Amino acid sequence: MSRKSYKIPVSRLARVMEASRDCWKRRAAQKQRAIRSLRVNVRDLKASRDRWKSLALRAQARLQQSAAAAPAEPRPGGPCLGGP
């Protein structure tokens, strides 16, 4: 394979390529930090959602139990609240 010839000096080419490499490495590291942060956020939100869902289901079950346990009491005054 033949070596590619550039019109700029090799030392300058090396600096440009090194700067380019450093730039993409910096961007890649920044993206990885953002991904990690978002994963932690999703994990925390899922735990919170699961906790609140569990509390809501327990409250609903207690409400259904109390409604089933309480006998239906007739209201005073009969079916018509206005009276005769």
CB 6 within 8 A of CB 13: yes
79 pLDDT higher than 80: no
pLDDT of residue 47: 97
- The angle subtended at Cα 50 by Cα 45 and Cα 56, nearest 5°, is 125
pLDDT reported for residue 2: 65
Asked whether 77 and 83 are in contact (CB, 8 A), the reply is yes
- pLDDT digit string, tens, across residues 2-55: 677 878 888 999 999 999 999 999 999 999 999 999 999 999 999 999 999 999
Give domain limits for the chain: 8-66
